Amino acid sequence: MSKKTKLSPMLKEVFAHILKKPATRKYPEVKPKVPEGFRGKQIFDINFCVSCGLCARDCPARAIEMVDVDGKKRPLFHLDLCIFCYQCAESCPRNAIKSSEIFELASTNKSDLVVRPETSTKKGSDE
């Protein structure tokens, strides 16, 4: 053989991986660290809200419904429709909408998938 045939580097790589640490992250036990600015479940602070309805108007997925809370219109977020673009936060004149780091939103019941304006203030959770 005049030209040296090249061996596939996979031969070595695969062999080496038998003893290497797997790249797997053990998710349910170890929760991943969510980066700053992550777009997760909404936190709505009712104290800042001026009931302008800009968030609902700009929402591309029409996921925000203005509901009556103590006689004022407040946004209610339908998480099953929400595309987590945070245009609402950008449109909000008073920064009443913020993002949390909560991403485990799965639910067996569709009616659970809402962020209610009256309960969202403290935590990102309403359950």
Partner 1 sequence: MSLNLEFVFRVLVFPGFAFVLLFTMICDWVERKIEARMQNRIGPTYTGPAGILQPFADFVKLLTKEDIVPLDTKNFVFRFAPILSFSIFVFAFLFLPIDGANVILNSSFEGDLIFVLTLVSVANFFLFLSGWSSTNPYSAIGATRVLTQFLGYDIPLFILALAPAFLAHNLSISAIAVNQRFPFALLIPWAFVLFIITLQAELEKDPFDVPHAETEIVGGYETEYTGRRLAFLKLAKDVQIILGAAIAVELFLSGPYGPVFFGLPVFWYTLWFILKLLMVIVITEYLTCVFARLRIDQVLVANWKVLLPLSILSLVATIAIGLWLNPVVG
Partner 2 sequence: MTSVEKKILMLLSDRLGEKILQIQTPQLGKVFVRVNAGVLRDALRVLFEENESAGISAITGVDLGKSIELMYHVRTHGTIITVRTEVPKEDAGIESITDLIPGANFHEREVADLFGVTFDGHPTQRRLVLPDSWPRNLFPLRKDAVIASIPNKLENAAVSDEDMQPSEGRTLIKVVMGPQHPALIEPEKFSLRVDGEIVKEVEPRIGYVHRGIEKAAENRTYLQDIYLVERICGICNACHAACFCQTVEAIMGISVPPRARYLRTVILELNRIHSHMLLLGHAGLEIGYETLFQYMWRDREPVMDIVEWLTGNRVIASFITIGGVRRDLKEEMIPKIKAELTNLKEKMSFYKHLFDSDPTLKMRTKNVGVLSKQDALKLCVVGPVARGSGVNMDVRKDEPYAAYDEIPFNMVTYNEGDSWARLMVRLAEIGESINIINYALDNLPSGPYRVRVPRIVPAGEAFGRVEAPRGELFYYVKSNGTAYPERVKVRTPTFANILSFVRIAEGGNVADVPASFVSLDPCFSCTDR
Partner 3 sequence: MCCASLVKWARLKSPWVLHFNSGACNACDIEVVALLTPRYDVERFGILLEPSPRHADVLLTTGVVTRQCADRLKRIYEQMPEPKFVVAIGACACSGGVFEGNYNVLGGVDKVIPVDVYVPGCPPKPEAIIDGIVKLLNSAREAKLDDKR
Beta pairing class for 72-78 and 64-69: antiparallel
User: In the chain, what is the greatest distance between 2 CA atoms, to the nearest angstrom?
Assistant: 88
**91: Cβ contacts below 8 Å, ≥ 6 apart:** 54, 55, 57, 58
Residue 119 Cβ vs partner 2, minimum distance, rounded to whole Å: 24
Q: Which residues bind partner 3 (CB under 8 A)?
A: 22-28, 31-32, 60-63, 78-85, 103-110, 113
- Tell me which residue of 99, 42, 108 sits closest to 76, measured CA to CA: 42
Residue 37 Cβ vs partner 2, minimum distance, rounded to whole Å: 5
Say how far apart CA 80 and CA 88 lie, in whole Å: 16
Task: CB nearer to partner 1: give 14 or 61.
Answer: 14
Task: CB nearer to partner 3: give 70 or 104.
Answer: 104
Task: CB nearer to partner 2: give 2 or 23.
Answer: 23
Residue 102 Cβ vs partner 1, minimum distance, rounded to whole Å: 24
Asked if 10 touches partner 2 (CB under 8 A), the answer is yes
